[in-house]
């Protein structure tokens, strides 16, 4: 059995609460802003934001999930075609609650809950994402590439070629030394074999 939410139900049983929140969400999507009590607005916020998240997905399954909560097809159509594209780049926080004061009759705290439809620029990737990419890069590759300055003249190009040739010439004898050592090691072994005979 599902545990009840904390605090009293809004008005009556759980079915009545679901219907009340569905009607409030439908009114919010239709009018973009409604005035209600603070308690109802706080209970409406997660329901409305979840429905907007479904609308952002935009597929048939998401539309049917929203239709299971809100029975009015015209409201669901408006949610998917008008509201979802406006909040496409917003990552949550689709509603705003503003306090209005207290109701005259029963002194209930009144608020205005509205959809946040202002355009938002997508956030740039954070440093944490960049560090994950650098950690995922192989250790053989340097993390930062060095910039190569353009050559100004042919003389610089010839000087660089000469330096490269010198470096190659220095490395070549170093490679030949082990071959000579191998021949020297082989000569005493041959001498020992000759002594054994």
Return d(Cα 164, Cα 31) in angstroms, integer.
74
CATH topology of domain 14-115: 50s Ribosomal Protein L17; Chain: A, (3.90.1030)
Cα distance from N-terminal residue to C-terminal residue, the chain: 97
pLDDT at position 123 is: 73
Return d(Cα 178, Cα 184) in angstroms, integer.
10
Say if CB 43 and CB 9 are below 8 A apart: no
Quickly tell me which residue has 């000579």 as its tokens.
180
Question: What is the tally of helices (H) and strands (E) in the chain?
Answer: 7, 3
pLDDT at position 185 is: 57
Return d(Cα 34, Cα 66) in angstroms, integer.
20
Long-range contacts of 123-127 (CB under 8 A, 24+ apart): 123/91
Any idea how long the chain is? Answer: 197
| Residue ranges of the chain with per-residue pLDDT less than 50 | 175-177
Integer-rounded Cα Rg, in Å, for the chain is 37
Return d(Cα 17, Cα 81) in angstroms, integer.
27
In the chain, where the domains are located:
14-115, 153-197
List, in sequence order, every residue forming a beta bridge with 95; answer none if it has no partner: 115
Return d(Cα 114, Cα 98) in angstroms, integer.
8
Q: What is the pLDDT of residues 138-160, one digit of tens each?
A: 555 555 555 555 555 666 667 77
Say if CB 48 and CB 92 are below 8 A apart: no
Task: Encode burial over 100-113: b for 16+ CB neighbours within 10 A, e otherwise.
Answer: eeeeeeeeeebbeb
pLDDT at position 113 is: 97
Distances (CA, A) of 181 to 54, 98, 103, 137, 175: 74, 86, 99, 40, 11
């Amino acid at each position: 059995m599902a545990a009840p939410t904390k605090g009293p139900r809004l008005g009556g049983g759980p079915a009545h609460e679901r219907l009340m929140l569905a009607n409030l969400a439908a009114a919010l999507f239709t009018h973009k802003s409604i005035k209600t009590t603070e308690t109802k607005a706080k209970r409406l916020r997660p329901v409305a934001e979840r429905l907007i998240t479904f609308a952002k997905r935009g597929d048939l399954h998401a539309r049917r999930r929203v239709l299971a909560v809100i029975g009015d097809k015209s409201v669901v159509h408006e949610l998917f075609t008008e509201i979802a594209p406006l909040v496409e780049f917003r990552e949550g926080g689709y509603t705003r609650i503003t306090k209005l004061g207290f109701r005259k009759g029963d002194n209930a705290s009144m608020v205005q809950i509205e959809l946040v439809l202002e355009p938002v620029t997508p956030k740039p990737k954070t440093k944490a994402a960049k560090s994950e990419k650098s950690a995922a890069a192989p250790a053989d590759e340097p993390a930062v590439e060095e910039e190569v300055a353009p050559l100004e003249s042919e003389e610089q190009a010839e000087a660089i070629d000469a330096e490269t040739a010198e470096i190659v010439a220095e490395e070549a004898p170093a490679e030949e030394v082990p071959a000579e050592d191998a021949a020297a090691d082989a000569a005493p072994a041959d001498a020992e074999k000759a002594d054994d005979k």
